[in-house]
Chains A and B, each alone.
Chain A
Amino acid sequence: MTDSSEPVLLTVAGLLVEVAERPLLTDFNLKVEESALIEIKGPNGSGKTTLLRYLAGIRRAHKGSIDYRDHDFAYVGQKPGLNASLTVFENLKWLTRNADQDISDSNLLLALSDLGLKSMRDTPVGALSAGQVKRCGLASLLALNAKIWLLDEPLTSLDEAAISWLKVAITSHRAARGATILATHAGLGLPDTTTIDLNAS
């Protein structure tokens, strides 16, 4: 077993990133330490989402390696993975169980009330607004006990209040020695941010 006092949470070495069988990045390297905040930037089609999907294990690396210290991450994609006919609470429950975590109901409700969704707990996701759906997806971040957050364009369709909530959430996640990697074209403007510009490399 790896030593958990080691500060590196995730090591990516020599990763080949392909889109539609064309290589976008031939030799991508990354070390993610505790409390890191990494923003992946670049224009549309530069492979931000694809890179994140490699990190989340949705795409398998054919060349290079992706090593998690504890294999412990939460991924929120552009489509948050919420079934329209299930309620907010049921969806959250499934997302956490699917990640092999048994979170108590009260903790799930805590996450929901943080995002102002508590009164919506028994509403089907199909009846929510786009911003509420986005927030519901982010609520799973709070519910899950993951060391690394992988967020794909988290700011899309979020209002001011939700964006400032996300900033607070990421800051406190970092304070708890968790790392965040996000694909975004806007940027959050938080201190100590590492930026990876895909267009430059």
Chain B
Amino acid sequence: MNAFAIAFNRTIRVGWRHPLDSLTPMAFFIIVVSLISITVEGVSDSENGIAIAVLWVVLLLSTMMASSGAFAQDYEDGSLEQLVAQNESLYVSVHGSVTARWFISSVPLLVLVPLGAWMLKLDIEVWWILFLTLIPGSIVFTLFGVLGATLTLGVGRNGVLLALLVLPLYIPVLLLGVGACQRSATEEPFQFALIGIYAIAMAAITFLPFAIAALLRVSQEY
């Protein structure tokens, strides 16, 4: 088995034994969407713009929450030490681990998006573009979330710090994603944003694991 499969397999297994790590962000997603639908007048009456923005922002926050625990357990129990000591291809392992994390944390949230869209009375025509942008968007959110988690490894109560580090980095994808969906809803051209969001996702997939692997090494080195 190669390093990708080994890391993927392990992360999925551990995730499977901790269903709350996936379920809590899902519950958070639904609760926040409900709160907004109840309190913000006109979310569901207005054109689709506000509803799209709400879905994106809430998905962003839930993903950040879900990825905040990445590598924390490995750091505590010494697995990370083994990973760094024995593994020649840490970059590939990080890829495996992050991919698994996307399946654990983002896919359940993406499954909830139609429910959220329905709660916000989003036109069904917008759904396809929503998914076309949310999939690469959630990949970028997960990668940056894991980056933030590795930056703060070993720092107790890292939740708020993580948010401060990661949220500014989310802005481009958020704007391009929301913009593409809103323009599609008003039948304006949105190809630019679509290309942009996929380009950012490709760049993030290629380069961020380097940074994450380097930080994992550093976390063991000092």
Identify the A interface with B (CB < 8 A).
20, 53, 56-60, 75, 77-86, 90, 94-95, 97-100, 102, 124
Could you say which residues of chain A place their CB within 8 Å of the CB of B86?
Answer: 75, 98-100
Cβ of A83 and Cβ of B77 under 8 Å apart?
Answer: yes
Determine whether the beta carbon of B221 is less than 8 Å from that of A78.
no
Please report the C-alpha to C-alpha distance between residue A59 and residue B84 in the assembled complex, in whole angstroms.
Answer: 9
Chain A residue, CB-CB nearest to B222: A20
Chain A residues in 8 Å Cβ range of B79: 81-83, 94
A78 to chain B, nearest CB (A): 7
Smallest Cβ distance from A108 to chain B, in angstroms? 15
Minimal Cβ-Cβ distance residue in A for B221: A59
CB-based contact A85/B18 at 8 Å = yes
State how many angstroms separate the Cβ of B133 from the closest Cβ of chain A.
34
Pairs A–B under 8 Å by Cβ, sample size 17: A53-B81, A57-B85, A58-B220, A75-B82, A77-B81, A78-B78, A81-B77, A81-B78, A82-B79, A83-B14, A83-B73, A84-B77, A85-B14, A86-B14, A90-B13, A95-B82, A97-B6
Helix, strand, loop or mixed for chain B's interface?
helix
9 additional contacts, CB 8 Å, given A75-B82, A98-B87, A100-B88? Answer: A53-B220, A75-B81, A75-B85, A79-B81, A81-B79, A83-B74, A84-B73, A94-B79, A98-B86
Chain B: how many interface residues by the 8 Å CB criterion? 25
**Cβ contact within 8 Å between B6 and A81:** no
In the assembled complex, the Cα of A23 lies from the Cα of B71 at a distance in Å of 30
Q: Give the distance to chain B from A92, nearest Cβ to Cβ, in Å.
A: 12
Interface residues of B in 4-22 (CB under 8 A from A): 6, 10, 13-14, 17-18
Given contacts A75-B86, A90-B13, are A82 and B1 in contact (CB under 8 A)? no
Complex CA gap A96/B78 in Å reads 15
Tell me whether A86 and B85 are in contact in the complex, defined as CB-CB below 8 angstroms, given that A59-B221, A79-B77, A94-B10 are known contacts: no
Chain A residues contacting B13 (CB-CB under 8 Å) are: 86, 90
Residues of A within 8 A of B14 (CB): 83, 85-86
The reply to whether A81 and B82 contact each other, CB–CB distance below 8 Å, is yes
- Check B83 for interface membership: any CB of A closer than 8 A: yes
Contacts of A75 in B (CB 8 A): 81-82, 85-86
Distance, CA A80 to CA B76, complexed state (A): 10
Chain A residues with CB under 8 A of B17:
85-86, 124
Interchain CB contact under 8 A, A98 and B6? yes
Q: Which residues of B contact A94 (CB under 8 A)?
A: 6, 10, 79
Contacts of B85 in A (CB 8 A): 56-58, 75
Question: Which of A58, A60, A78 has the largest number of chain B CB atoms within 10 A?
Answer: A58
**Once the chains are docked, how many angstroms separate the CA of A185 from the CA of B78?**
21
B16, chain A: closest CB distance, angstroms: 9
When C-beta atoms are compared, the residue in chain B nearest to A57 turns out to be: B85
CA distance A148 to B222 in the complex (A): 24
Contacts of A82 on B, CB cut-off 8 Å?
77-79
Bound CA span A59–B222, Å: 8
Give the docked Cα–Cα distance between A99 and B81 (Å): 12
Q: Please, how many angstroms separate the alpha-carbon atoms of A82 and B76 in the complex?
A: 10
Q: Write the B80-124 contact mask toward A (1 if CB under 8 angstroms, else 0).
A: 111111111000000000000000000000000000000000000
Asked if A58 and B221 sit within 8 Å, CB to CB, the answer is yes
Bound CA span A6–B95, Å = 39
- CB distance B221 to A80 under 8 Å? no
Given known contacts A86-B17, A90-B13, is B221 in contact with A98 (CB within 8 Å)? no
Instruction: Given A98-B6, A98-B83, A98-B87, answer yes or no on A77-B221 (Cβ-Cβ < 8 Å).
Output: no
A21 closest partner in B (C-beta): B222
- In the bound assembly, the distance between CA atoms of A83 and B16 in angstroms comes to 13
